[in-house]
Amino acid sequence: MSSNAFAMLPSAWAREIRPVTAEDVPGLAFSGVKVSYDEHKNASVHGALSALKWSEHKGAGPAAILALFALAIISNKAQMDAGLRSNNVVIASYTQILNVAPMARATLSKALQLLEKVGAIGRQAQGKVVVYTLNGILTPGKWCAFPQGYLLAGYDHLNGLKFFLDHMRRPATLHALKLYMLLLAQRTSRTNIAIISYSTIEEYTGMRREDISRAVSLLISERLCTLVGDDVMPRRKGDPMHNRYAITGLRAMGS
């Protein structure tokens, strides 16, 4: 497998922005009334990624993102064996998922429930097997490239994400994986760069700025992305001064 091989990863769910409701903001007195971010400054939760919360889910939060990566890889391998992608479903046992993303079976069970809740996957039992639907991968704009070849690095498991698999009980792991998922979803294939501000990251993920900063540092130290400077990609007049992130293991279109 090429080091630049990629799998199709559901991404529309990670870019979803929805109105904040009273359910999202503990303590709001008026149940069921939608409020905007500007109307309620304490409500920094907008995107589906923000539904993965350390305070509620602990290690099941990062496990959900890792399990989604594993399902994308299993799906891609199955389609490669068939010779042509024909659908958006994959049959995968717990053992197959755990071979790609090692974790406790109980954690995986919670992770899959979370993925279904946020709309990344669908699940349906068919006899003794479970059929997973990777939502959106047949629709342009609703999936993103996942650097499968780079992160497997010749192994059957996600060796390139070993740090995160080994430290799922740390909040920083959830923060970094949420940011990584968002960067993959926001990446432009033409340039292999995601351009996004801290404020936008806050809205999508519900993370605090200090957590975002630590997450960026962790992704860079684990060689999952790099910051792109003006010396590499000069800014044009009027370009925003947002950070620009190049995803390691993926190519810009045509390069």
- 141-186: pLDDT as tens digits: 999 999 999 999 989 999 999 999 999 999 999 999 999 999 999 9
Instruction: Give the separation between CA 43 and CA 97, rounded to whole angstroms.
Output: 35
Cα–Cα distance list, 200 to 45, 84, 164 (Å)? 11, 37, 24
Question: Which of helix, strand or coil describes residue 221?
Answer: helix
Which residues sit opposite 126 in a β-bridge? 129
Residue 29 DSSP symbol: S
Q: Which of 161, 144, 240, 230 is nearest to 198 (CA)?
A: 240
The amino acid at residue 255 is S
Instruction: Give the separation between CA 14 and CA 254, rounded to whole angstroms.
Output: 26
Tokens encoding 204: 């999508």
User: Could you read off the pLDDT of 81-122 as tens digits, one per residue?
Assistant: 766 677 899 999 999 999 999 999 999 999 999 999 999 999
